[in-house]
Amino acid sequence: MIAVAAALGALALALAWPVPVALARAEWPSRSPATALVLWQGIALGGGLAMIGSLLAFAAAPGGSLLRAATDLLPAVFQGPIPAAYAVVQIAAFTLAVGLAVHLALNLVTTAVRAERARRRLHHLVDLLAEPADASGARVLSHPVPVAYCIPGIRTATVVTEGLVELLDEAELRSVLAHERAHLDQLHHLVLLSFRAWHAALPWFPIANRAERAVAVLTEMLADDAARRRAGADPLRHALERLGAVAEPGPYAEAGGVAPDGEMLAARLERLTQPVPPLPGTARAAGWAAAAALVSLPVGLLAAVAA
């Protein structure tokens, strides 16, 4: 059990700092945003499981298995006394593991509830202020600032302003709308939601902020790729050059979330101006396999000592 706890602790430490830092600094994610996005999810989920699992394995060491430790400790919570084999450090580790799991789960739920409430308010405002959907399916707000955004969820909407419609030509507007619809079709808001909840749960954790930003960039690149396939690279690039970094709030507009800044815009324009070849199929498969391994490894180690 101690060996399993140490292995899970080492994995949690690696996924908490050196691995995500290396991924954030790497250049290859722009060549395969989908693979990088899956890898980020594997790092986040695997790191959380390893962190909680390490604490549980250490706490369960006197019992020899997680099931035996649960049989020993759970009745003591309500009836006492705590078995003598379990020292203060084991009880503290068990309490910390449960507390951390509950904390992460509650932050995910509260973040989701807040985002849903914000989406409902936005839908209500759009229904009151925007014109009915036109032939493109977009709702048009009477406002001079050129902005486009999407409202995800069970009920979706793509919103543009009159300023945007007047600024862009037909091809450029089509590319922007294709970009927004890609956010909706690919459910980017769900991916961003999980990383935003992670950041909210651990605001003192530097990598949580880095991960949220990296994931936001990747979702923008994926939406750019979809828009490029539908409307061409040049119209989208021209639209981005005209709009700048503040005109397209991205897939988290419903919560006032991550908006593209100058650095993000520059990265997107570079991909559209000088397209890079995608990663080979073997490299993409390796990235997906690595993401699966990062999640399955802590699960497998815990399953080995469960009974």
Express each pLDDT in 89-106 by its tens digit: 999 999 999 999 999 999
- Between CA 99 and CA 107 the distance in angstroms is 12
39, 134: one domain: no
131, 243: one domain: yes
137, 64: one domain: no
24, 143: one domain: no
246, 302: one domain: no
Domain that holds residue 271: 123-276
Pairing relationship of beta strands 157-161 and 138-141 according to DSSP bridges: parallel
- Domain presence at residue 223: yes
Express each pLDDT in 198-247 by its tens digit: 999 998 887 888 899 899 999 999 999 999 999 999 999 999 999 886 55
pLDDT category at 183 given cuts 50, 70, 90 is: very high
63, 162: one domain: no
Q: What is the end-to-end Cα distance of the chain in Å, rounded?
A: 12
79, 134: one domain: no
136, 219: one domain: yes
76, 145: one domain: no
Asked whether the CA dihedral 298, 303, 304, 307 is positive or negative, the reply is positive
CA–centroid distance for 84 within its chain: 43
- Domain presence at residue 218: yes
216, 253: one domain: yes
Query: Mean pLDDT across the stretch 109-114?
Result: 95
Express each pLDDT in 135-181 by its tens digit: 889 999 999 989 899 999 889 999 999 999 999 999 999 999 999 99
268, 129: one domain: yes
CB burial of 116-138 (b: ≥16 within 10 Å; e: otherwise) equals eebbeebbeebeeebeeeeebeb
Express each pLDDT in 245-303 by its tens digit: 655 555 444 544 444 568 888 899 999 999 989 999 999 999 999 999 999 999 999 99
- What pLDDT score does 246 carry? 54
**Single-letter amino acid code for the residue at 143:** H
Domain count, the chain: 2
- What pLDDT score does 209 carry? 84
Which residue, among 223, 291, 275, 288, has the nearest Cα to 252 in the 3D structure?
223
SS3 (DSSP) at 155:
coil
244, 166: one domain: yes
The verdict on pTM exceeding 0.75 is yes
